[in-house]
Structures are given as structure tokens and as C-alpha cells.
Amino acid sequence: MSNVINEQATGHAHHDHHHPAKGFKRWLYTTNHKDIGSLYLIFSLTMFLIGGAMAMVIRAELFQPGLQLVDPHFFNQMTTVHGLIMVFGAVMPAFTGLANWMVPMMIGAPDMALPRMNNWSFWILPFAFLILLASLLMPGGGPAFGWTFYAPLSTTYSNDNTALFVFAVHIMGISSIMGAINVIVTIVNLRAPGMTWMKLPLFVWTWLITAFLLIAVMPVLAGAVTMVLTDKYFATSFFDAAGGGDPVMFQHIFWFFGHPEVYIMILPAFGIISTIVPTFSRKKLFGYASMVYATSSIALLSFIVWAHHMFTTGMPVAGELFFMYATMLISVPTGVKVFNWVATMWRGSISFEIPMMFAIAFIVLFTLGGFSGLMLAITPADFQYHDTYFVVAHFHYVLVTGAVFSIMAGAYYWLPKWTGNMYNETLAKWHFWLSLISVNVLFFPMHFVGLAGMPRRIPDYALQFADFNAIISIGGFAFGLSQLLFVLVVFKCARGGEKAPAKVWEGAEGLEWEVDSPAPYHTFETPPEIK
């Protein structure tokens, strides 16, 4: 017995496997939630740049009317893989990385509850995206049926890359489900003594709810891709009218996954913003309980609005009315959140550090995306907007100035804690202002061309849209290039720089964890055996 106590006290065991691995092996075998969080974040940044390069191809082609740079079929591959990579490769793994890093520390847990599974759920991801990207090199090219892979485009009219696409999506889904199980078990079982449910930091709450959404809808996506696979290769006809199937049923199944999915990509963002705004307002978050209930209502309502993506498929008027009202209802809890963030800042002692600037940009621009979503919810109006660039403008305001800006806000907020160094403030300011200006030059004019009738997902367009598209493309290149500054900031910060103080955001004393809860004993210090 004394031996065991001795081992625990010194951290030196008599067995080889207790000695930490070095170099590549450390990262391959790691069960440390911070290492795994870092792996997710690095992976998602890589995917963000690859997906961004594809967006650049799209915008370069659309810079002028006429077909100039790429073959239309390749253009379709770019729009498809750009969407898949940004959703499943950039946004979701970034939030999972933030959850891995922050959730255990926020609840005072020594690590995630299931560390080996944590390692595995990360390491299968690079292979999923390797498979997806490799499909682009196939003889017929990669998937070209849009990230929503509607049948019959993905079944009757696709080539053999469909099989690789389905396999890649299955692996991503397995990874997401395991990550979600891990988050739930960790939060339910490993909270510090005295940390009751209504004392959880909001980032933890939003992730708990997100994890339940993931477990509920990822199997639906798995079902959809499996039916696509059997329709294509095993002569079933789930979605083939000739064999008694229904292509519209595909849309129902896909969007039953797809709508909760868009909330999976925004709820953790709400948690990040609810952490940052109180810190730099030097005030407690306004309406903590209402934030928790609003998050839960958004999650529940997200399951009954899916067919608002399908108003033009010819559903009964009663169905259109139901989905219209349900969709408008979901904007109420979202409005509660925006009100609470603004009320937190109201008469606060605000300082405009980079995380706060991204958070304020998030609140304004995400709300704008919410308003265009409300417009799309109105059935008769949606008949005009559907499948135009207005929809592209709407969901990019939600996902770029929403999800992506919140990830950047979180990265700037926690980088000093992660690395022990302060980031370069000047470069970060350049990154913020260039991103803010260019993202609006990129996406705002899309509302106009959309309302004027320009369809989405096309490699060419009518001449009257030429000027706006040139502006949009310039904004796109500027936004894409601005992100290289972010890479530089993160790289420099990880390498060294001015040492971060113990309380990074001074004056935000006591609010760093945002609720009055016992300080987690699990600090940001690197455990001695890794140093």
C-alpha cells in the first residue's frame, strides 16, 4: 500500500507506461483533455483554411459573369465540399475542442469522464476528411450534389464518389456522438462539490444541451446517408418514385437532422458570448436562469421546424402554417438571449478588448442573420426568397459572423490561459477590423442580388448581377486573406511573447468563471510530468 501512495505522491511509477510519451507519440496516445482540445482546434483551423480556399475558388469563378476559371461540374464539387468541410470539419470540431479544453476546468473536473474514447473520437476525424477530400481526386471528381445531397442528385445522378462521401459522413457522425456522450457524462458526474445545476457556467450549459441534440440527430443523418447508399448501390428505392419511393421524403429526413444541426452550430457560440460579455462589462450576466431556459427551449423547438426548408415542395397549407408559426416562435428565446447580452452591457464598465469586440460584432451581426431568418420563415415570402442568394446571405450571417466569430472571440479570450502568453494586440486588432469590414462586403450585398432573383449554387449568372458579384468576390478574398493574420497571431502566441498575468483580464475579478461557484481545483497549470 505504501508503494502505491508513494507512486501517487511522486508521480513516478515503476512501470514504463506511466512515463509520458514525447513528441508525436504524446499527441497520438494522449488522454489529456487539454491536448485533445488543442488537437481539435488545430484540426478545425486547418479545415477552415481548406474550406476557405474552396470558397475562394467559388468567388473567383463568380467575379465576372461567363464561365472562365473552372468547369461547372468542378464548381459544383467546390460548393458541396466547401459546405461539408465548414460544417463538419471547421465549426463542429472547433466547438468540440473548446468543450474539451474548458468544460472540465469550468466544472472543476480532473479531466473528461471517458479519456480514451476522447482520444479515439478525435483521431478518426482526420481520416474522415482525408476520405472526403480524396474523393475529389476520383475519375469522375468529388461529390457535386450540394452539402444537403438531395436525392436524386446524390443517388441517380451521382458517380462512385457517393460511397466515399457516405463513409466519411458516417465516421464524422461516430466522432460527434462519442464526443457528445463524453460531454454529458463529464458534466453529470464530475462537477465539483457545491456546483449545482443552476451554478454551471453558461458555456457548460449550452454544451450540455448541444450534446443531447447531437445524440438525437446524428443517427438521423446516418440513416439518410445509408438510404442514399442503398438506393445507389443495392437497388432499393427509398427516394426513387419509379420504385415506390419519394424524393421529398429525403428532404424530410435530411432536414429533421439539418435543422437541429444548425442549432448545434450556434448554441455553444451563445455560451462563449455569455462568458465574454460579463467579463468585459464587469457585471454578472443579466438573467442567468432565463438564459438556461431559453437555450433549452431553442433546442426543443429546433425539432419541430424542419420543413421551413421545404415550403416550395407543395406541402398542405396546414403544414405550411404550422411550420411558419413554429419557426417564428423559435425567434422568441433567441431574442431573450440578445436582450440579456445587451442588458449585461447596459451601464457596465466596458473595456473593448479583442474578445469583447468579436462578441459585440457577434451580437449585432448574428441578430441581423436572425432577422433575415424571420423573413425566410414567412411562407409566402419564402416562395420568393427560396434558393436565391438571400438564403446564402442569411445562413452565412448566422454561421460566419455567428459561429465563426464566436469561436474567434473564445480563442482570443482563452489563448493567454492556454499558452501562458499574451497574443500580439496590434495584429489581433488588424485581424478583427479587416474581418469585420470584409465579411460585410462579402455577405451583405448577397441580400440584394438574392431579392433581385439571383439563384444560388450556379457557376454563371445574368449580366445585371455583375457589379454586385465583383464586390462580393473582393470582400471574399479580403476576408479569406484576413484569416491568415489569425493564423499568425495564434502561431506567435503559442511560440512565446509577453507572459500573461495570473488574472488575464484584470478588473474582471471574480467574473472569469462568470458565476459565483467554487474555484475549480483543476487549474490551467501544465501537470509536472508533461513539462
User: Which H helix or E strand runs over 182?
Assistant: helix 161-189
* pLDDT tens string 111-164: 999 999 999 999 999 999 999 999 999 999 999 999 999 999 999 999 999 999
Question: What pTM does this model have?
Answer: 0.92
Q: What is the pLDDT of residue 22?
A: 81
What span, in angstroms and rounded, lies between the C-alpha atoms of 73 and 320? 34
Within-domain flag for 374: yes
Within-domain flag for 47: yes
For the chain, how many structural domains are there in total?
1
Average pLDDT over residues 78-105: 98
**Cβ neighbours of residue 100 closer than 8 Å, sequence gap 6 or more:** 33, 34, 36, 37, 40, 112, 118
Task: Note the Cα 531 to chain centre separation in Å.
Answer: 32
∠ CA 155-82-309, rounded to 5°? 60
Which domain covers residue 115, as residue numbers?
29-513
Q: Which residues are catalytic?
A: 82, 111, 147, 175-176, 259, 261, 263, 274, 308-309, 334, 337, 456
Provide the β-strand partners of residue 455.
388
Q: What is the pLDDT of residue 415?
A: 96
Using only C-alpha atoms, what is the Rg of the chain? Answer: 23
pLDDT of residue 521 exceeding 60, the answer is no
Q: How confident is the model at residue 410 (pLDDT cuts 50, 70, 90)?
A: very high
Q: What is the pLDDT of residue 530?
A: 47
Q: How confident is the model at residue 308 (pLDDT cuts 50, 70, 90)?
A: very high
Q: What is the pLDDT of residue 42?
A: 98
Which grid coordinates are listed for 160? 462512385
Residue listed under C-alpha cell 474550406: 51
What span, in angstroms and rounded, lies between the C-alpha atoms of 429 and 364? 18
Whether the CB-CB separation of 456 and 392 falls below 8 Å is answered with yes
Q: Which range among 80-94, 217-231, 497-511 shows the weakest confidence by mean pLDDT?
A: 497-511
Average pLDDT over residues 434-454: 98
pLDDT of residue 529 exceeding 90, the answer is no
Within-domain flag for 522: no
Amino acid at position 47, single letter: M
Which grid coordinates are listed for 276? 465574454
Q: What is the pLDDT of residue 518?
A: 43
* pLDDT tens string 466-517: 999 999 999 999 999 999 999 999 999 999 889 998 888 865 444 444 444 4
CATH code of residue 160 = 1.20.210.10
Q: What is the pLDDT of residue 19?
A: 65
Within-domain flag for 40: yes
pLDDT of residue 5 exceeding 70, the answer is no
Could you give phi then psi for residue 421, rounded to 5 degrees? -120, 150
Whether the CB-CB separation of 321 and 379 falls below 8 Å is answered with yes
Could you give phi then psi for residue 154, rounded to 5 degrees? -85, -10
pLDDT of residue 527 exceeding 90, the answer is no
Q: What is the pLDDT of residue 23?
A: 84
Within-domain flag for 384: yes
Q: What is the pLDDT of residue 506?
A: 67
Within-domain flag for 59: yes
Q: What is the pLDDT of residue 10?
A: 43
Helices H, strands E: what count in the chain?
19, 0
For residue 152, whether the previous peptide bond is cis, meaning omega lies within 30 degrees of 0, is yes
Name the percent of the chain lying above pLDDT 70.
Answer: 91
What span, in angstroms and rounded, lies between the C-alpha atoms of 21 and 457? 48
Amino acid at position 118, single letter: N
Average pLDDT over residues 173-195: 97
Q: What is the pLDDT of residue 18?
A: 58
pLDDT of residue 15 exceeding 80, the answer is no
pLDDT of residue 263 exceeding 80, the answer is yes
Q: Which of 234, 14, 26 is nearest to 119 (CA)?
A: 26
Within-domain flag for 523: no
Q: What is the pLDDT of residue 305?
A: 97
> CA 202 → CA 123, 207, 279, 400, distances in Å?
28, 8, 13, 21
pLDDT, greater one: 504 or 32: 32
